[in-house]
């Protein structure tokens, strides 16, 4: 249920679920709304600070700028973010614009960015990211090409803001590319299973994907840089069977509840 301005009426949705227990709700709208804001979407990962024998998962250092582009250089310096920084729209609603990002190399260029936005400290990651698709308890991982690493020589020679309309789309698949094994190696399965399980509980969602990078030069240091609700599952291997099995399990669980 949407209000006239298009936002979710959280109270109405809660009331509806309470008065219509016979309706199976895949994921509650109020929980989905949480992922529409990049200020809040990664907070669960930051609070979790997952670390075990298979590796450590965190988020890049980030800063939210809601208005006044002229204040960005000072805010970045105060927050201790190292250049370059990745700028992403604050609202992540699945539109093409929400997937656009920019890479700002120098202090002066920061003023050219357009708030509201989230600034993330850029982490070299070998130019490859891992898209981790989650459907209930099922996890599938694919490799996608991403922004290339930035060396110190480039930082001294490059200035400006570089805009990227869409990074890591399906056309940028890196699964069959000839990659350095240290870059191509998928994150450890037990680490992903632990991360997915905890996020499903914390977010209250079952259909989402994570964009994860590995810090270049390490084997076990990972960062979640984005979370997307109900991503394009058509790009996920074996999505037909996985999604069908997931829906059937929901129906079976609902039937069992009615029978008890």
Note the pLDDT of residue 22.
Answer: 74
What is the residue range of 89's domain? 35-248
Residue 1 CB coordination number (10 Å): 11
166, 146 Cβ separation under 8 angstroms: no
Whether residue 196 lies inside any domain: the answer is: yes
Give the residue carrying structure tokens 């930051």. Answer: 46
Whether residue 140 lies inside any domain: the answer is: yes
216-221 LR contacts (CB < 8 Å, sep 24+):
216/123, 216/124, 216/125, 216/126, 216/149, 216/183, 217/124, 219/55, 219/182, 219/185, 220/54, 220/55, 220/56, 220/188, 221/55, 221/56
How would you write the pLDDT of the chain (260 residues) with one tens digit per residue?
444 444 456 667 678 778 877 777 788 888 898 899 998 899 999 998 899 899 999 999 999 999 999 999 999 999 999 999 999 999 988 787 888 899 999 999 999 999 999 999 999 999 999 999 999 999 999 999 999 999 888 887 888 999 887 665 555 788 888 899 999 999 999 999 999 999 999 999 999 999 999 999 999 999 999 999 998 888 888 999 999 999 998 888 776 666 66
Whether residue 62 lies inside any domain: the answer is: yes
Cα distance between residue 252 and residue 256, in whole Å: 6
Note the pLDDT of residue 20.
Answer: 79
Cα distance between residue 216 and residue 182, in whole Å: 8
Q: Any idea what the Cα angle at residue 91 is, between residues 233 and 9, rounded to 5°?
A: 85
Note the pLDDT of residue 124.
Answer: 96
Whether residue 100 lies inside any domain: the answer is: yes
Whether residue 81 lies inside any domain: the answer is: yes
Whether residue 41 lies inside any domain: the answer is: yes
C-alpha separations of 32 from 92, 93, 158, 167, 172 in Å: 11, 10, 39, 23, 27
Note the pLDDT of residue 158.
Answer: 86
Note the pLDDT of residue 153.
Answer: 81
**β-pair partners for 102:** 87, 163
Residues 6+ apart with CB under 8 A from 244: none
C-alpha separations of 199 from 42, 45, 48 in Å: 10, 8, 9
**β-pair partners for 55:** 52
Whether residue 16 lies inside any domain: the answer is: no
Instruction: Write the burial class of residue 205 (CB in 10 Å: 0-12 exposed, 13-18 middle, 19+ buried).
Output: buried
Whether residue 227 lies inside any domain: the answer is: yes
Q: How many domains does the chain have?
A: 1
C-alpha separations of 96 from 3, 61, 63, 166 in Å: 23, 25, 22, 8
CATH number for the domain harbouring residue 89: 3.30.470.20
Q: Any idea what the Cα angle at residue 86 is, between residues 81 and 92, rounded to 5°?
A: 120
């Amino acid at each position: 249920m949407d209000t006239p301005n298009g936002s979710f009426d959280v109270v109405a949705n809660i009331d509806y679920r309470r008065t219509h227990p016979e309706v199976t709700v895949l994921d509650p709208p109020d929980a989905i709304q949480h992922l529409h804001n990049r200020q809040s979407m990664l907070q669960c990962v930051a609070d979790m600070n997952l670390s075990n024998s298979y590796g450590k998962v965190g988020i890049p250092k980030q800063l939210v700028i809601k208005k006044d582009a002229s204040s960005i250089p000072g805010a970045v310096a105060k927050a201790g973010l190292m250049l370059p920084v990745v700028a992403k729209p604050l609202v992540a609603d699945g539109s093409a614009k929400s997937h656009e990002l920019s890479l700002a190399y120098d202090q002066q260029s920061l003023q050219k960015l357009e708030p509201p936005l989230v600034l993330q400290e850029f982490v070299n990651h070998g130019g490859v990211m891992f898209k981790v698709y989650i459907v209930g308890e099922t996890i599938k991982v694919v490799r996608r090409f991403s922004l290339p690493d930035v060396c110190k020589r480039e930082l001294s020679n490059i200035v400006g803001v570089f805009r990227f309309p869409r990074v890591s789309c399906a056309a940028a698949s890196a699964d069959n590319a000839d990659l350095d094994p240290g870059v191509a190696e998928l994150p450890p399965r037990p680490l992903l299973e632990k991360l997915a399980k905890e996020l499903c509980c914390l977010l209250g969602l079952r259909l989402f994907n994570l964009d994860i990078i590995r810090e270049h030069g390490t084997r076990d240091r990972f960062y979640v840089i984005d979370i997307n609700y109900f991503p394009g599952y058509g790009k996920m291997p074996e999505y037909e069977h996985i999604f069908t099995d997931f829906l059937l399990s929901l129906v079976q669980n609902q039937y069992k509840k009615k029978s008890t």
